[in-house]
A and B are shown apart, each in its own frame.
Chain A
Amino acid sequence: MVGLSRIDGPARFGADLRRRLGRRGRVELYFAFDDPNSAVAVIDLAERLVDFDVLLILDPVVNRGIPDDPAVEEKRRFAITDARRLFKRAGLTLRRNEPIRPEHTAFLAEWAASSLPGPALTKFCVAAMRQLWLVGDDEIDPALYADLWHEAFGDDPPPAGAGADAVRANERRMARRGPYDTPAVWVHGQWSFAHDRLPRIADRLDELGWRFEP
């Protein structure tokens, strides 16, 4: 298994082929709005990837994790402590002290899942994560997030429930491909927990030649 994981030729060949065809690189991030470590990853990657010719594909999920995990509540609570330290590395301050219930941000996942990847979606997700984790520690008011959507897309958010199927599809795809929890990032053949490996994501893109020429 370890030996197989070191085979990198196909990923390098694929990256080179994409460039020859005039296509961009891909970084796929499976994330959850209720997960503070996903907030770390979304906010960081949106900034870190501007130096690379890659498309950041943001795939929101709600349901994830190890089935019947007895430690799920402890993990949810500890994620606050952990994310606070990771934000501190970046000079940011996490404002919440209590976990967010997944169902309270499911509407954000549905909105985001109903949109195509691109700058507007990235702008919305970053703004929403900042509002959720770095600005407010109060009740989550959908109207506030509708304003953020409007700022990013110049339009109203999708109607309630419109993106539910797309969220479920993201969850199934994430499970099928291997990762079991968020934030999970795929970078040309390699999976990582994104918040743990942010500098290495850039290293990987450098290895594959995706950095913009100076």
Chain B
Amino acid sequence: MEVRALSGAKIEYFFSFRSPYSYLSGPRAFALPERFAVEIEFRGVIPMAMRGQSVPRAKALNTLRDVDREARRLGMPFGRIHDPLGDGAMRCLLVSELAKDEGLEPAFVLAASRAIWAEAVDVSTDDGLRPVCERAGLSWNGCRDALQDPSMRERVDANTAALADLGQWGVPVFRFGEEIFWGQDRIEDLETVLREAGLST
């Protein structure tokens, strides 16, 4: 932790709860500070389909098949899905901002994305979301407040705008300095850059 603080190096991690590739990236992304002197700044973004960008059916089908194979390769559960498009995704984004304030975003993001992509939890309902929040160590009262807090929504909008400002369209995206990495399968290239920057711990 001391080395990390001294380096001041930061990775912005753009993530969507509706992106199965974001889900696949989560454990490896949040584990980066264990091996490199970097901090991860989680930035949850509004799903493409809620930003007026269409996702063709062929793309959606190919994505699910590919994610299933990748999940098995990574040893991650996948396949019992409840699409969070709409309220589900937005509620997770709002709670993730609260989780950042409490230093619990890794736990919440991993728990929520697993619930969506592997446990078919409907996070658009309180009955679905509450256990996920509590599993991550968040109080439900605090989460309920965050769901109504306009400043949390502003932060989500700012994250989404920041992704667009980078000229990026999909997620997950990692930004380290001027370098942009798109895709859960580009974490190894990010690690190469971190090693070359002398940030291995």
Q: Nearest Cβ distance between residue B133 and chain A, in whole angstroms?
A: 26
A200 touches B69 (CB 8 A): yes
A75 touches B169 (CB 8 A): yes
> Taking the complex as formed, is B167 at the interface, i.e. its CB lies under 8 A from any CB of chain A?
yes
> Taking the complex as formed, is B56 at the interface, i.e. its CB lies under 8 A from any CB of chain A?
yes
Provide the B82-125 mask, 1 if CB < 8 A to any CB of A, else 0.
00000000000000000000000000000000000000000000
A178 touches B185 (CB 8 A): no
Task: Assess A74 versus B58: contact at CB under 8 Å? Given A5-B68, A85-B186.
Answer: no
B81 touches A180 (CB 8 A): no
A2 touches B58 (CB 8 A): no
B69 touches A2 (CB 8 A): no
| Contacts beyond the supplied A1-B65, A2-B79, A66-B59: 7 A-B pairs with Cβ under 8 Å | A77-B167, A82-B182, A85-B181, A88-B189, A178-B62, A190-B69, A193-B66
Point out residues on B near A: beta carbons under 8 Å.
Answer: 53-54, 56, 58-59, 61-62, 64-66, 68-69, 73, 78-79, 81, 167-169, 180-183, 185-186, 188-189, 192
> Taking the complex as formed, is A214 at the interface, i.e. its CB lies under 8 A from any CB of chain B?
no
Residues of chain B within 8 A (CB-CB) of A6 are 68
**From B73, B81, B180, B183, contact of A2 by CB (8 A):** B81
B61 touches A2 (CB 8 A): no
Task: Assess A178 versus B81: contact at CB under 8 Å? Given A82-B182, A190-B65.
Answer: no
> Taking the complex as formed, is A78 at the interface, i.e. its CB lies under 8 A from any CB of chain B?
yes
**From A66, A89, A178, A190, contact of B61 by CB (8 A):** A178
Residues of chain B within 8 A (CB-CB) of A180 are 56, 58-59
Residues of chain B within 8 A (CB-CB) of A193 are 66
Chain B residue at smallest Cβ distance from A85: B189
Task: Assess A191 versus B180: contact at CB under 8 Å? Given A2-B78, A2-B79.
Answer: no
A78 touches B65 (CB 8 A): no
